[in-house]
Chains A and B, each alone.
Chain A
Amino acid sequence: KNQVEQSPQSLIILEGKNCTLQCNYTVSPFSNLRWYKQDTGRGPVSLTIMTFSENTKSNGRYTATLDADTKQSSLHITASQLSDSASYICVVIGAGGTSYGKLTFGQGTILTVHP
């Protein structure tokens, strides 16, 4: 069964600090991996999209990395702001067989940034 596991489940940091969120997946083969930010009561918003051949992708203070060999991805947030408080969801899109084009979502990491 294709799975996407995220860690930690939740994280509390102080404003201005950096943090790193982890995503491990078993979806194989896959075409791309995405990170989404979901504010409470809102729909997810795309942060980064990486194909299987990319190692890193940045979007402002957000930097995603991908290691396709170990099937791991991370999202690094620098100089955190209060507005970064949200759930961060890792999504993997399958590329073959019955998983073709299907999105598998992780359960999300809830980040809370305190002043």
Chain B
Amino acid sequence: DAGVTQSPTHLIKTRGQQVTLRCSPKSGHDTVSWYQQALGQGPQFIFQYYEEEERQRGNFPDRFSGHQFPNYSSELNVNALLLGDSALYLCASSKDRSSYNSPLHFGNGTRLTVT
């Protein structure tokens, strides 16, 4: 049973460029959340997708956008990259969107470096 898979594992981009990160949720999960984790910090919530719609959003600018596909996989897009966007981007999936009692399963992340 595959867990959460993310691609690519590492990525180097230049300031001003755009990037797309991909996530496939754990089998049986329908909700996907994205997190940004700067070095030495805890993850920061970006947004959550359920039924192909953005349901919740953290304090991130509109440069961060996403998409969820009918097969529950998801993409995170970041436009006009800044040096401060360099971080580990984590995807997490769960069985329901409430997060109340539903364990989150994380992927191993995409390490984005902006130069």
Chain A interface residues (CB < 8 Å from chain B): 4, 31-32, 41-46, 49, 51, 89, 93, 95, 101-103, 105-108
Contacts and interface: CB of A to CB of B under 8 A. Distances in A.
Interface stretch (B14-22, B41-49, B73-81): B41-49
Contact of B42 (A31, A41, A107): A107
A43 B100 contact: no
B101 A101 contact: no
Contacts of A49: 101, 103
Contacts of A108: 40-42
Given A105-B42, A106-B42, A107-B42, A43 B90 contact: yes
Contacts of B92: 43
A103 B45 contact: yes
B98 A46 contact: no
A41 B107 CA distance: 11
B27 interface: no
B43 A102 contact: no
Contacts of B101: 31-32, 49, 51
A51 B102 CA distance: 12
B65 interface: no
Q: Most chain-A CB neighbours within 10 Å: which of B42, B104, B106?
A: B42
Going nearest first, the 8 A-B pairs with the smallest beta carbon separation are A43-B106, A105-B42, A101-B99, A107-B42, A43-B108, A31-B100, A42-B108, A105-B43
A112 B92 CA distance: 26
Given A49-B101, A93-B100, 7 more contacts: A32-B101, A43-B4, A101-B97, A103-B33, A105-B45, A107-B41, A108-B40
B25 interface: no
Contact of A103 (B40, B99, B108, B111): B99
Given A42-B108, A49-B103, A102 B45 contact: yes
Interface in B1-53: 4, 33, 35, 40-45
Nearest to A106: B42
A49 B102 CA distance: 10
Given A102-B45, A102-B56, A108-B42, A93 B99 contact: yes
